[in-house]
Amino acid sequence: MRETLSQDKVVAAAFRPCIHPSSLPLKIIQAATNLRAKYLRLPYGDQALAIPAELFHQLHGFAELPIMEDVEILTRLRFNTPK
């Protein structure tokens, strides 16, 4: 994670899920999850989001939401981070 986050233009990171043993339905879920994260830049919290502490605090942390606070902070991150 440190190596990935130290790269220019990388402001957050997440792990790709890998499900074992995997049946066909689980392989489909895994592939869809990885595609969503890669192309939509929208990993979910169960993929272990990593955001540098300073940036997390600049964004004022997670919103007080009962669910999907991970998606909400990633949306703020996407639209509030200088390019």
Residue 19 belongs to what domain range?
A: 2-80
Structure tokens that stand for 34 in this block: 């990885």
pLDDT tens digits for range 1-59? 889 889 988 889 999 988 888 799 999 999 999 999 999 999 998 899 999 999 999 99
CB 34 within 8 A of CB 21: no
Q: Whole-model pTM above 0.95? A: no
CB 78 within 8 A of CB 41: yes
Give residue 83's pLDDT band: very low, low, confident or very high (50, 70, 90): very low
For residue 74, the Cα-to-chain-centroid distance in whole angstroms is 7
Q: Could you give the number of structural domains in the chain?
A: 1
